[in-house]
């Protein structure tokens, strides 16, 4: 089940983040039109179902989970302008209620969709790059192959890394919400490919796992 899988991956990634003061909770918002996820200060994490067609696996979910948990533990939200605090307080309550089963998921979905969660208070590109790098470390420590992160970002962008900036172009209207305020696809994927050798030292595959993918070859 989707909720159980998101919770399972979230708990693994949160465990290696080693932040006992955080009360981690994980919720799924049923909205296939929104490809997004977010983590509010304190550890309330939510995934819109629209992003799951891009994650495709637990490793893909771990890519997003590591990224969002990093925003929380690095206190990126505190660094932002304080507009929208009232909305954030309301959202924390709704997510907590949905995660605990005390709030009807349909009600939670309506409230969160109405607020446009994760879009109204964007992080800057420096924070996004930090979330990518530390998130990659977290997924590796949690036992997910960091190479899988490249595939997720390629699927989300709609372009394989070897084509980005060359023959693959997209209109701004088609960009998923999760990418709308983030670094360019080309910059992000190149950074991740460059960081993978550094973070592989943290990766211990679970018993029975296939060997990690070979490093990507640059065609430039």
Catalytic pick from 68, 154, 177, 185? 68
Task: Determine what percent of the chain falls in helix, strand and coil, rounding each to the nearest 5.
Answer: 55, 5, 40
Vertex 137 angle, CA 134 and 139, to 5°? 110
Q: Is 87 a catalytic residue?
A: no
19: CB partners within 8 A, 6+ apart:
43, 73
- Point out which residues pair with 47 in neighbouring strands: 28, 37
- Contact between residue 47 and residue 69 where contact means Cβ atoms under 8 Å apart: no
What six digits make up the tokens of 120? 């109204």
Catalytic residue numbers, as ranges: 68
């Amino acid at each position: 089940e989707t909720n159980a899988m998101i919770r399972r991956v979230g708990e693994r990634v949160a465990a290696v983040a080693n932040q006992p003061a955080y009360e981690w909770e994980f919720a799924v918002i049923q909205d296939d039109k929104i490809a997004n996820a977010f983590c509010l200060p304190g550890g309330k994490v939510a995934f819109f179902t629209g992003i799951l067609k891009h994650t495709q696996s637990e490793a893909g979910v771990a890519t997003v989970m590591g990224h969002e948990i990093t925003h929380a533990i690095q206190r990126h939200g505190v660094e932002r302008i304080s507009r929208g605090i009232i909305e954030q307080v309301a959202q924390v309550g709704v997510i907590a209620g949905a995660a605990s089963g005390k709030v009807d998921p349909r009600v939670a979905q309506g409230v969160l969709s109405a607020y446009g969660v994760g879009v109204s208070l964007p992080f800057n590109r420096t924070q996004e790059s930090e979330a990518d790098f530390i998130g990659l470390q977290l997924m590796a420590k949690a036992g997910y192959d960091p190479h899988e992160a490249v595939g997720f970002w390629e699927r989300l962008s709609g372009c394989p890394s070897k084509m980005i900036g060359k023959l693959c172009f997209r209109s701004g209207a088609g960009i998923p919400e999760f990418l709308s305020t983030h670094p360019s696809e080309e910059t992000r994927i190149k950074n991740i490919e460059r960081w993978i050798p550094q973070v592989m030292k943290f990766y211990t595959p679970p018993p029975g796992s296939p060997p990690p993918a070979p490093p990507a070859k640059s065609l430039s």
